[in-house]
């Protein structure tokens, strides 16, 4: 083992630890990788920063802008309206049509904004028809991941792998080349989601602010159980249901633990916080009876939740929010006079208002926010947060929707027909979105997820160092030694499963970039065509269903669905097995060794 291999291995291991632990942000870790490779002399400065001129991150950046143009103009809103009209509140129809719609969109659009859009629609339908959004949100995330593997632009991972393959002397992937395997896997996966989701997922309900005209208005409130309350020692739902039949208990916070009364047994103790929906009359009655009381926020009593001048809503932090990594007090929420963040929830861990000073926001965090009507409308219109409510805000620039849709279809068409490569099509689409007025220039800049691009660029540099130092060949020979006698098919299956497992703890983009050199080296060592291995990495990198932290869309639905980690394991392992078994069987049928 040469000194170069030892050094690059140490850099790789440190990077993996930082990626998993998130001690540093992903983009800062990626920058550190490039600096380390230059300082140690493993790569020249030109080679270390070559990723900035690489077609993959530039293509992904262009697609970010095109997708934001579609969402901003509401070019796809008619589909969600159609979904609402067709389902008429029937859960099976909502699930079926949602899976089909998300699958169709995610094949051509980055799946994160698709799931963000559908998240608001599903919550609106769930609130309107009194359904549990947990029955739909995880299947939507999984369907978007499956559909993303059917086309070149369905997920940024495919674009990165294609570019890495081209850099290794292979033909880049075609627009629909992956559909030969991706489409059958997606069809089987969607069928299983439709059949199994209802039995494997919980029925937790998301609190929402009711907006129905003519209906008895309900408010969200967080109340605390004082010492001496008549409710002490009683189960949360039954304690309130008898005296207040219309009250809906959503969550009970006991210390840092969050429990959902519909699925967990929650016996009330002094100091518990209850998140509930109730009419103004019921809230007044509960507080006056001393069953519960309003909590203190920043040392003072919170304004009444039924005060007509305030509203209490839940807000989800999306993956592209500029609030990520910042403390609440350092965001616009902390600066507004009529906005109070009462609490936050992350993966069933609750943070009270007093904890906001130390909490740095992450994707999927749920904030309980009390605000005035002006700030509520501003929060709805702003893209920094997703407001959980039972109505879907109108798009900001709907007049440009036909133009945005035409630009998107033209981009897909010219790339699919080979008139232009995907980089040219994506950048042209991004340019047209701005020049046509579908997006303002500052909105286009905001649409580009810089940390994701930096992550891609940093891991491209690390992948180049693995190849140049000979580490990729060494890792490949060690990998092959574990599967001697199994032949190319066995190695392909092992590579797909390894890629899938790594993608549960790393980002799928990082996993793909790091394993492509190993796949190419393994193919060279076995004297076979590397294309089946490259295609297998595409499917393995997206097969991260069994963890909420393995994929952005999984993390996004984790909180709003009220899921536990094991909910993802139960349903997600079914789809992992579909890919682990199906991809090794199907890939060699279309790409021979």
Among 499, 581, 571, residue whose Cα is nearest residue 141 = 571
Q: Is residue 235 part of a domain?
A: yes
Same-domain check for residues 251 and 321: no
CA distances to 9, 85, 313, 335, 551 from 541, rounded to whole Å, are 21, 36, 36, 40, 10
Q: Please report the pLDDT score of residue 217 as a whole number.
A: 56
Q: Is residue 14 part of a domain?
A: no
Summary mean pLDDT of the chain = 82
Q: Is residue 568 part of a domain?
A: no
Q: Is residue 197 part of a domain?
A: no
Q: Is the pLDDT of residue 137 over 80?
A: yes
Q: What is the pLDDT of residues 30-43, one digit of tens each?
A: 899 999 999 999 99
Q: pLDDT exceeding 70 applies to what percent of the chain?
A: 88
Q: Please report the pLDDT score of residue 393 as a whole number.
A: 53
Choose one of 338, 366, 389: the last residue of a domain: 389
CA–CA distance, 436 with 201 (Å, rounded to integer): 44
Choose one of 389, 424, 445: the last residue of a domain: 389
CA–CA distance, 210 with 215 (Å, rounded to integer): 9
Q: Please report the pLDDT score of residue 255 as a whole number.
A: 78
Same-domain check for residues 317 and 379: yes
Q: Please report the pLDDT score of residue 586 as a whole number.
A: 95
Same-domain check for residues 376 and 326: yes
Confidence of residue 116 (pLDDT cuts 50, 70, 90): confident
Same-domain check for residues 322 and 274: no
Q: Is residue 593 part of a domain?
A: no
Q: Is residue 263 part of a domain?
A: yes
Region 154-167 average pLDDT: 87
Residues constituting the chain: 593
Per the model's pLDDT, the better-predicted residue between 130 and 192 turns out to be 192
Q: Is residue 359 part of a domain?
A: yes
Domain region containing 243 = 219-278
Domain count along the chain: 2
Contact 429, 444 (CB under 8 A): no
CA–CA distance, 257 with 234 (Å, rounded to integer): 18
Region 105-111 average pLDDT: 85
Q: Is the pLDDT of residue 250 over 90?
A: no
Same-domain check for residues 330 and 381: yes
CA–CA distance, 504 with 526 (Å, rounded to integer): 28
Q: pLDDT exceeding 90 applies to what percent of the chain?
A: 21
Same-domain check for residues 336 and 382: yes
Q: Please report the pLDDT score of residue 215 as a whole number.
A: 45
Confidence of residue 212 (pLDDT cuts 50, 70, 90): very low
Same-domain check for residues 315 and 273: no
The sign of the torsion formed by the CA atoms of 25, 26, 31, 37 equals positive
Q: What is the pLDDT of residues 482-531, one digit of tens each?
A: 776 788 999 999 999 989 988 887 778 888 888 888 888 888 888 899 99
Residue 463 in tokens:
């992948």
Per the model's pLDDT, the better-predicted residue between 348 and 128 turns out to be 128
Q: Please report the pLDDT score of residue 535 as a whole number.
A: 95
Q: Please report the pLDDT score of residue 213 as a whole number.
A: 43
CA distances to 161, 165, 351 from 170, rounded to whole Å, are 11, 5, 51
For residue 199, the tally of other CB atoms under 10 A from its CB is 8
The sign of the torsion formed by the CA atoms of 98, 101, 105, 106 equals positive
CA–CA distance, 226 with 343 (Å, rounded to integer): 18
Assign residue 375 the CATH number of its domain.
Answer: 3.30.70.1450
Q: What is the pLDDT of residues 335-361, one digit of tens each?
A: 777 777 777 777 656 666 556 556 788
Q: What is the pLDDT of residues 545-564, one digit of tens each?
A: 998 877 878 878 887 787 88
Same-domain check for residues 322 and 385: yes
Q: Is residue 12 part of a domain?
A: no
Choose one of 339, 367, 389: the last residue of a domain: 389
Contact 296, 302 (CB under 8 A): yes
């Amino acid at each position: 083992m040469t000194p170069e291999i030892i050094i690059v291995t140490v850099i790789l291991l440190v990077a993996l630890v930082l990626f998993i632990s998130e001690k540093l942000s992903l983009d800062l870790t990626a920058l550190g990788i490039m600096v380390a490779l230059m300082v140690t002399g493993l790569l020249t400065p030109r080679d270390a920063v070559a990723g900035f001129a690489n077609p993959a991150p530039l293509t992904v950046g262009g697609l970010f802008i095109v997708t934001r143009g579609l969402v901003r103009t509401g070019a796809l809103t008619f589909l969600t309206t159609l979904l609402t009209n067709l389902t008429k509140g029937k859960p099976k129809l909502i699930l079926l049509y949602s899976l089909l719609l998300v699958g169709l969109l995610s094949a051509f659009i980055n799946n994160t904004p698709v799931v963000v859009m559908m998240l608001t629609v599903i919550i609106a339908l769930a609130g309107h028809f009194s359904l549990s959004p947990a029955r739909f949100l995880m299947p939507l995330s999984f369907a978007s991941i499956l559909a993303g593997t059917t086309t070149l632009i369905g997920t940024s991972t495919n674009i990165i792998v294609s570019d890495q393959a081209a850099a290794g002397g292979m033909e880049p992937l075609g627009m629909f080349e992956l559909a030969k395997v991706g489409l059958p896997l997606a069809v089987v996966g969607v069928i299983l989601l439709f059949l199994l989701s209802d039995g494997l997922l919980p029925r937790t309900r998301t609190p929402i602010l009711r907006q129905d005209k003519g209906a008895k208005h309900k408010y969200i409130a967080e109340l605390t159980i004082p010492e001496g309350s008549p409710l002490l020692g009683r189960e949360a739902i039954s304690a309130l249901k008898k005296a207040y039949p219309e009250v809906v208990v959503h969550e009970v916070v006991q210390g840092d633990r969050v429990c959902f009364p519909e699925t967990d047994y929650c016996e009330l103790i002094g100091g518990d916080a209850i998140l509930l929906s109730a009419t103004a009359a019921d809230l007044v009655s509960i507080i006056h009876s001393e069953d519960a009381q309003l909590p203190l926020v920043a040392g003072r009593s919170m304004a009444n939740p039924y005060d007509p001048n305030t509203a209490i809503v839940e807000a989800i932090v999306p993956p592209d929010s500029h609030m990520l990594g910042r403390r609440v007090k350092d965001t616009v929420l902390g600066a507004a006079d009529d906005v109070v963040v009462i609490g936050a929830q992350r993966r069933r861990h609750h943070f009270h208002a007093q904890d906001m000073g130390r909490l740095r926001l992450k994707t999927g965090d749920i904030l309980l926010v009390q605000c005035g009507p002006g700030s509520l409308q501003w929060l709805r219109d702003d893209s920094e947060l997703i407001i959980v409510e039972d109505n879907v805000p109108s798009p900001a620039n709907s007049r440009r929707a036909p133009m945005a849709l035409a630009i998107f279809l033209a981009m897909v068409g010219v790339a699919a027909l080979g008139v232009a490569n995907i980089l040219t099509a994506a950048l042209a689409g991004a340019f047209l979105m701005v020049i046509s007025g579908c997006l303002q220039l500052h909105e286009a800049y905001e649409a580009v997820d810089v940390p994701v691009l930096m992550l891609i660029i940093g891991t491209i540099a690390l992948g180049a160092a693995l190849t140049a130092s000979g580490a990729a060949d060494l890792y490949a020979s060690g990998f092959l030694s574990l599967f001697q006698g199994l032949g190319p098919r066995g190695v392909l299956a092992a590579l797909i499963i390894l890629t899938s497992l790594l993608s549960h703890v790393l980002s799928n983009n990082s996993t793909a970039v790091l394993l492509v050199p190993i796949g190419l080296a393994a193919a060279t060592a076995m004297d076979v065509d590397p294309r089946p291995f490259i295609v297998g990495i595409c499917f393995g990198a997206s097969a991260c269903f069994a963890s909420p932290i393995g994929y952005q869309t999984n993390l996004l639905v984790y909180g709003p669905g009220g899921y536990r980690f094991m909910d993802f394991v139960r349903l997600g392992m079914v789809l992992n097995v579909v890919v682990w078994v199906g991809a090794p069987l199907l890939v060699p049928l279309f790409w021979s060794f």
